[in-house]
Amino acid sequence: MTNAPAARPYRRPRPDAARLAAYDVLHAVGERDAYANLVLPALLRERRIIPRDAAFATELVHGTLRRQGTYDRIVAACTDRPIQEIDPPVLDVLALGVHQLLSMRTPVHAAVSATVELARAVLGDGRAKFVNAILRRVSKQDLDTWLRQIAPPYEDDPEGHLAVLHSHPRWIVQALWDALGARGNPHDRAAMEALLAADNLAPVISLVARPGRVELAELYEAGATPGRWSPYAATLPEGDPAAIKAIRDGRAAVQDEGSQLVAAALANAEVEGAESRWLDLCAGPGGKAGLLAAIATGRDVSLLAVERRHHRARLVRNAIGHLTHHQVITADGTRPAWRPGSFDRVIADVPCSGLGALRRRPESRWRRKPEDIPELGELQRALLRTAVAAARPGGVIAYVTCSPHPAETRVVVDDILRADEAELIDARPLFPGVPHLGSGPDVQLWPHLHGTDAMYLALLRRRG
Ligand SMILES: C[S@@+](CC[C@H](N)C(=O)[O-])C[C@H]1O[C@@H](n2cnc3c(N)ncnc32)[C@H](O)[C@@H]1O
């Protein structure tokens, strides 16, 4: 007989379903460039996670991804190991723990013990001890104290300060500041902070009632409330949009009000003479095409929607539904399959950096790189050139991005205007009742001013 204490039986770690789901999504985002807003809902459904846990996992994933850059800096301040030497899965687990500790109301004990349990399951016992030690250090201070400690003072480095405080990469802070026109103006620090803070909030769910297919009243009956700016908009304060019949059958859809406004502005711009054909040059997944097709049907006009990728063209077909006279083709919009000058209205909603939609794609700010901008610029110019050539004399062209980056907006438009084939027209009167539209003639919407994505619209008229 021996007096040695009995070895503790091995206990298999059992992380809770919500935190494990959150980790799996972060891992997929980091490992294979997945999009959290696509992976997470599928995973929650597949694992049949109950609504309360699903809401917790959603906040955990979105909040952690938005603030990951700042959380990594906090972790770095808690260890002597250079952050580059810590494996990404360990940083993911740590970031989930830091978010619970500093930005959610999870009690410290629960946040640490549940995250360590998760670490034991997905990283192993050794690395779980490291996670435990770091999280205990993080828990000693609140978020504001940490931020004061790790951010450079505003006076020495305004961009660096705001980048840490609001968790945006520095180059994006610079680009947004340029776009806001507030750079170097100390009075506009508040505007810049409001914009960065708005990027960290989940957007409200905006719905579009496609005209002629559904009345707004039907959406209100299903629990929606009136939208802010667009005549087609409703807001869903809570609940799953897919539970609404009109959404399920494609008569209505989820669509940011900014997108609705730019599509409506194109449809309502003055064009002389009879109209017969409109063109959407970059139509996938079909948000604007769905609205334009519905408006076009009411005016007995046909819409040609072009999308380069097959699967996205299929989504455009779904958005247009059973409306007749419209056509969707899978094609490269820079290689026109139509005669020049054959459309009355053309929209080029070009691929862009998406810096205006950071609220919706929590990981995108860390994934995008400054070198993406010139690369996208070439395609943006080629598409706008094709769009101008496709419009008939007197026809209107909408150049749209969901980015406010000057190199993707005004600079592109100015380059194309140099060919003298089109002129800019004032888009502002086509946004009735919408404040803060600036000095024009183009329009830039903002999350902090309008509650929309930062959509940009330049309206051009084809010269005769
Ligand atoms: C910003 S999205 C358009 C969003 C769409 N208008 C909506 O409201 O749902 C840009 C689209 O252009 C497509 N695209 C990229 N290059 C293209 C090209 N050369 N020709 C046509 N479409 C292209 C992309 O696949 C993407 O679906």
* pLDDT, tens digit (0-9, with 9 covering 90-100), for 399-434: 999 999 999 999 999 999 999 999 999 999 999 999
Q: What's the whole-number mean pLDDT along residues 33-42?
A: 93
Q: What is the pLDDT of residue 191?
A: 92
Residue 17 alpha carbon to ligand 1 centre in Å: 37
Q: Is 285 one of the annotated binding-site residues?
A: yes
Output the CA 332–ligand 1 centroid distance in Å. Answer: 10
Output the pLDDT for position 327: 96
Q: Is 283 annotated as a binding residue?
A: yes
Mean pLDDT over 76-102 rounds to 97
Task: Find the 387 Cα to ligand 1 centroid distance in Å.
Answer: 13
- pLDDT above 70: residue 396: yes
Residue whose CA is closest, atom 27 of ligand 1?
Answer: 284
Residue 5's pLDDT is 62
Q: Which protein residues are within 6 Å of ligand 1, measured from CB?
A: 259, 282-288, 306-309, 312, 332-334, 349, 351
Q: Which ligand 1 atom minimizes the distance to the CA of 401?
A: 1
pLDDT over 70, % of the chain: 97
Among the atoms of ligand 1, which is closest to the Cα of residue 306?
21
Q: Which ligand 1 atom is the nearest neighbour of the CA of 259? A: 8
Report pLDDT for 187.
Answer: 61
Which ligand 1 atom is at minimum distance from the Cα of 352?
A: 1
Mutation test of ligand 1: which of 282, 401, 405 has the most ligand atoms closer than 8 Å to its C-beta?
Answer: 282
Atom of ligand 1 nearest to the CA of 312: 27
> Of all protein residues, whose CA lies closest to atom 2 belonging to ligand 1?
351
227 marked among binding-site residues = no
Q: Whose CA is nearest to atom 26 of ligand 1?
A: 284
Give the per-residue pLDDT at 6: 67
pLDDT, position 15: 86
Whether 441 has a binding-site annotation, put simply, is: no
Q: Whose CA is nearest to atom 12 of ligand 1?
A: 282
Q: How far apart are CA 141 and CA 281, in angstroms?
A: 52
Instruction: State pLDDT tens for residues 124-157.
Output: 999 999 999 999 999 999 999 999 999 999 999 9
Mutation probe of ligand 1 site: the residue of 307, 316, 345, 402 with most atoms within 8 A of C-beta: 307
Q: Which tens digits make up the pLDDT trace of 230-267?
A: 999 999 999 889 999 999 999 999 999 999 999 999 99
pLDDT at 1: 44
Q: Which entry of 192, 261, 402, 459 is annotated as an active-site residue?
A: 402
- Measured distance CA(392)–CA(415) in Å, rounded: 20
Residue located nearest, by CA, to atom 6 of ligand 1: 283
97 is in an annotated binding site: no
Average pLDDT over residues 11-25: 90
Q: What are phi and psi of 348, to 5 degrees?
A: -115, 95
3-state secondary structure the chain: CCCCCCCCCCCCCCCCHHHHHHHHHHHHHHHHCCCHHHHHHHHHHHCCCCHHHHHHHHHHHHHHHHCHHHHHHHHHCCCCCCHHHCCHHHHHHHHHHHHHHHCCCCCHHHHHHHHHHHHHHHCCHHHHHHHHHHHHHHCCCCHHHHHHHHCCCCCCCHHHHHHHHCCCCHHHHHHHHHHHCCCCCHHHHHHHHHHHHHHCCCCCEEEEECCCCCCHHHHHHCCCEECCCCCCEEEECCCCHHHCHHHHCCCEEECCHHHHHHHHHHHHCCCCCCCCEEEECCCCCCHHHHHHHHHHHHCCCEEEEEECCHHHHHHHHHHHCCCCCCEEEECCCCCCCCCCCCEEEEEEECCCCCHHHCCCCCCHHHHCCCCHHHHHHHHHHHHHHHHHHHEEEEEEEEEEECCCCCCCCHHHHHHHHCCCCEEEECCHHHCCCCCCCCCCCCEECCHHHHCCCCCEEEEEEECC
pLDDT at residue 184 is higher than 90: no
Q: How far is the CA of 313 from the centre of ligand 1 (A)?
A: 9
Check pLDDT > 70 for residue 359: yes
Q: Is 402 a catalytic residue?
A: yes
At CA 374, angle to CA 369 and CA 380, rounded to 5?
Answer: 115
Centre of ligand 1 to C-alpha 2, Å, is: 74
Please choose from 308, 311, 316, 353 the residue to mutate so as to test ligand 1's pocket, defined by most ligand atoms within 8 A of CB: 308
Burial (CB count within 10 angstroms: exposed 0-12, middle 13-18, buried 19+), residue 108: middle
Asked whether residue 9 is marked as a ligand-binding residue, the answer is: no
